[in-house]
Structure 1
Amino acid sequence: MALRIGIGGIHIECSTFTPHVTRDADFAVRRGDELLARYEFTGEGEAQWVPLVHARAVPGGPVAPDTYARLKDELVDRIRAAGPLDGLLFDIHGAMHVPGYEDVEADLAAAVRAAVGPACLISTATDLHGSVTEALVRQVDLITAHRLAPHEDEWITRERAARVLVSCLRHGIRPIKAWVRVPVLLPGEKTSTRDEPARGLWGSLAEVERTPGVLDAAIWVGYAWADEPRSSAAVVVSGTDERAVLGEAAKLAERYWAVRGQFTFVGPTGTAEEAIDAAVGSARKPFVISDSGDNPTAGGAGDVPFLLERLLARPEFKAGGLSAIYASIVDPDAVRACAASGAGTDVDISVGGRLDTRHGRPATVRGRVEALVDDPAGGLVAVVAAGGVRVIVTSRRKPYHLMADFARLGLDPHRADLVVVKIGYLEPELQRLAQGWMIALTPGGVDQDLLRLGHQRLTRPVYPFDAELSTPDLTPRLIS
């Protein structure tokens, strides 16, 4: 008989320093054939794949408890309605935050385990920027993570989790796992696998997998912008041989700890003013600036106007001598004002500073409405030309990573002198676009300067929050 394997989960990372609240409308929820269509490998005929429910949202602030409860209940109800499952592909991020929960993924996993029963094998695919605890690992049978940052292997990770799950079911294997917490908490922009030491660490995992008795190996950076006791790096090695999984997990944890001081930003950094100076002075165009502190794909609100204000004030852009695209700032009221005025008209509007009031008040933008476009993700979007700056204002929080996102608005980033994007490290298309680049260390809910955010609840000591650290106990816990 064909194996019956369910697919479901909740996928989001949440900054506890971002006042935005993630609600039902923020999630793209897929069920049935629409859910299965996301997973190309389900058409290969190795199993009967049973779509449950999967919810995914752009990273942001904490998930409203009632939203979490509805999504959790639906997942559990659909598992029970599906009948007996041999396996479950549990597709999560690993850094969701819901007020009232210390470890919400462990809570979700426990509910899922209760619904599927003890015999069902659960294989979990996660982001390497999740915070993976012993409690979560105890509820699942396999857990793995991306090995690339940026996450060009996101779907490879899901397929690997599914492939190992099917193999275990076919061969009657119930894996054992070795988990170890590594007391290090760094932002993703310091742990990109484009550079050492992350490239070597994550690059070694495929070799670890070839160790006899090992099925999978994973390293998590942890999620730096959640003030939670669980926030830290972690290692899990899964397999069939106790000695092998414990030994490989210990070696990976020790390697991570040994190089903790070698992680540096993946690109040049500076203040907002220094980044704009670099763009103005660059002979190679377009120059790209990462407005990193308010990056919505890391959990920022997406409406902090700190860098925008400084850009609009610069005479080189104010007078139109240099051109820039600012992508983007969310403000539905400002978009409605642009729509009421109409394309081709002049407007004087306030933008941003409504969600994340801690890091800035609304900025004034005076210019001409060049475009009004309905966007599947951003809602109605306005492009306002203020001097040489094209300001993209969205109705909903939306990242701008792809050239198609700009083309939809009639903008060509290749023709601009400067492109400002609310992002951290550059996604591949932006990386290819950039002839020069700087990460602006701007304020916001995902500030790269972790020490100025004010974490209060971390499990201490943890690097780099504590200057004096003795060698921690990196002995893995065996979980079967």
Structure 2
Amino acid sequence: MVERPAIAIAGLACETSIFTPSRTLAPAFHAKRGHEIIEKYPFIRKDASLGKTADWHGALIGHALPGGIVTRACFEELAGEIIDRLRAIVSSTTIHGLWYDIHGAMCVEGIDDSEAELLHRIRQVIGHDVVVSASMDLHGNVSRELVHQTDLITCYRTAPHIDVHETKERACRNLVELLTKSPVGKRAGICPVLPIKVWIPIPVLLPGEQTSTQIEPAKHIFAAVPGAESKRGVIDAAIWVGYPWADEPRNRAVVVVTGWDEDTVKNEAERLSQVFWDAHEDFDFVGPTGSFDECVDAAMESKKHPFFISDSGDNPTAGGSGDMTWGLIRLLARSEFKQSFGPTVIYASVPGAKAVRTCVDAGIGATVTVTAGAEVDNIHSGPLTMTGRVHAIKRGDRDARIEVVLQVGSVFTILTALRKPYHHEQDFIDLDLKPREADIVIVKIGYLEPELHNMAADWRLALSPGGVDQDLKRLGHTRIHRPMYPFDDFNETPSLSASIIPASYEPLLGPER
């Protein structure tokens, strides 16, 4: 055991849809290096408990806004820098552990299971004696190979995700405790004996909008995790819902339990898997749904305001391109919103760098004609030309760079230089918009983030087309394991037996099931 372990930090995170034509490039990851990583996470700073018990060495982490497939050149650039930085750390310090900070649903051109591939490359530098602890989004995908390459692995337990930092801290705490308080000896004179890892794939693939932990059945499924983790001999228990808008063999729900007692670890993993499967037909959307037009009709008929509508098919926080004009075209075509005195509607958002520049050059109060959107994703609709009054301008946003609001009739449309999600009330207030006083607020999102949900007097989930279409069957998956619910019917319970996954230094035999 090590009294004060040295732990490196690395990872890339991006939730990517293969069903959108957009591509994710290196700048989107906003890479942090060295001490920037330590500053990002307060729980590993020198004055924090984990900072006092371990020495943390940042290599590189990158967290990109969800979007289209990561280009191979981008991956090789960032992965190459991770490897170079880890080599430099290893050359000057004996590394005992690695915190692998990832999302789990990153698709890269020409690579299946990119997180496992990156970790494989990392292992070539740090070796197999270094203990790896991974933290993930529950919408990530966990292949057998990824579990093989890691020693500890965990994920969020809430959706919407309100336990992000808690999960990352848990992954780090489990790692430090394994390195400093392991109950059994040492391996290779460096690492403790490693825990048992059990992995169970579940043939279910559903969108997050049907698996929110705020409602049943996901509520009781994820509520069972702490009970499993509390069992003697268990270190961590985790359930992944998976990510449906990629098309790789690893896409599905998964349970992983790690610990010291083989029987307990296997029993708890199988119990959690059975709890999940027993409820697989009970999953439903987190809120009332309808077509885009039906949702607008419901908002117009409602006396509850603000009435929120999720334009879900182009949700940029699930992997949509964010630049589709499909919903906005339908909105502006409606007679109710043609005049400035009509019902106040906020629409967030459509990118269009040229349109934004025109608005900025004209200034607030000017009337302009601009064309925006569909520069990347024009599958369902093309660019939209609008004439309206410039209502607001804001510079310096981390994602959007520059934002403007164009009032067309009674619709206040947010245009951005680069795509951006709108999850917080302040996002609107900064643009001289008052969402609580609006009649209708339409946001490109899936389930409403907590702050939006708290603002909404009522809401609907619009089942609109796009790269993250909620109708999975019409997207055309060809590479996922079959049978898979809801693509296929099951006449009997599938095998949910636990597979013990060997440590990374041991061979991984047999095909993945």
Q: TM-score, normalised by structure 1?
A: 0.98
Q: 1:114 deviation in Å?
A: 1.9
Q: Is residue 21 from structure 1 mapped to residue 41 from structure 2 by the alignment?
A: no
Q: 1:139 deviation in Å?
A: 0.2
Structure 1: unaligned runs, 5 residues or longer? none
Deviation per CA, 1:361-404: give whole Å up to 9, x if none: 12232211112211232111111000111100111111000111
Deviation per CA, 1:402-429: give whole Å up to 9, x if none: 1111122111111111111110011111
Q: Is residue 356 from structure 1 mapped to residue 377 from structure 2 by the alignment?
A: yes
Residues 224 and 272 in structure 2, CA contact (< 8 A), matched pair in contact too: no
Residues 364 and 393 in structure 2, CA contact (< 8 A), matched pair in contact too: yes
1:433 to 452, 455, 466: 455
Q: Which amino acid aligns with 2:153?
A: I
Q: Which amino acid aligns with 2:495?
A: D
Q: Which residue of 1 aligns with 2:273?
A: 253
Instruction: Out of 364-373 and 9-18, give the one that drifted further.
Output: 364-373
Structure 2: unaligned runs, 5 residues or longer? 183-191, 503-513
Q: Which residue of 2 aligns with 1:170?
A: 180
**Which residues in structure 2 correspond to 1:61-100 (within 5 Å)?**
61-83=68-90, 84-100=94-110
Q: Matches of 1:122 and 1:139 in 2, distance apart?
A: 8
2:437 to 415, 418, 434: 415
Number of equivalenced pairs: 480
Q: Which amino acid aligns with 2:223?
A: G
Q: What secondary structure is seen at the aligned counterpart in 1 of 2:309?
A: strand
Q: What secondary structure is seen at the aligned counterpart in 1 of 2:70?
A: coil
Residues 60 and 81 in structure 2, CA contact (< 8 A), matched pair in contact too: yes
Change (3 A) 1:264 1:42: same
Q: Matches of 2:206 and 2:118 in 1, distance apart?
A: 25
Q: Which residue of 2 aligns with 1:343?
A: 364
**Which residues in structure 2 correspond to 1:258-269 (within 5 Å)?**
258-269=278-289
* Structure 1 residue runs of 4 or more that deviate by more than 6 Å after TM superposition: none
Q: 1:99 deviation in Å?
A: 1.3
Residues 6 and 52 in structure 1, CA contact (< 8 A), matched pair in contact too: yes
Q: Is residue 399 from structure 1 mapped to residue 406 from structure 2 by the alignment?
A: no
1:462 to 484, 487, 491: 484
Q: Matches of 1:34 and 1:105 in 2, distance apart?
A: 22
Change (3 A) 1:469 1:379: farther
Q: Which residue of 2 aligns with 1:282?
A: 302
Q: Which amino acid aligns with 1:61?
A: G
Residues 425 and 451 in structure 2, CA contact (< 8 A), matched pair in contact too: yes
Q: Which amino acid aligns with 2:210?
A: K
Identity over the aligned pairs, expressed in percent? 48
Q: Matches of 1:396 and 1:247 in 2, distance apart?
A: 48
Residues 208 and 214 in structure 1, CA contact (< 8 A), matched pair in contact too: yes
1:321 to 333, 336, 342: 342
Q: Matches of 1:258 and 1:205 in 2, distance apart?
A: 16
**Which residues in structure 2 correspond to 1:5-154 (within 5 Å)?**
5-43=7-45, 44=48, 45-83=52-90, 84-154=94-164
Q: What secondary structure is seen at the aligned counterpart in 1 of 2:17?
A: coil
Q: TM-score, normalised by structure 2?
A: 0.92
Q: Matches of 2:380 and 2:153 in 1, distance apart?
A: 37
1:4 to 3, 6, 9: 6
Q: Matches of 1:336 and 1:460 in 2, distance apart?
A: 48
Q: Which residue of 1 aligns with 2:185?
A: none
Instruction: Out of 430-439 and 355-364, give the one that drifted further.
Output: 355-364
Residues 463 and 469 in structure 1, CA contact (< 8 A), matched pair in contact too: no
Q: 1:467 deviation in Å?
A: 2.8
Q: Matches of 1:469 and 1:75 in 2, distance apart?
A: 47
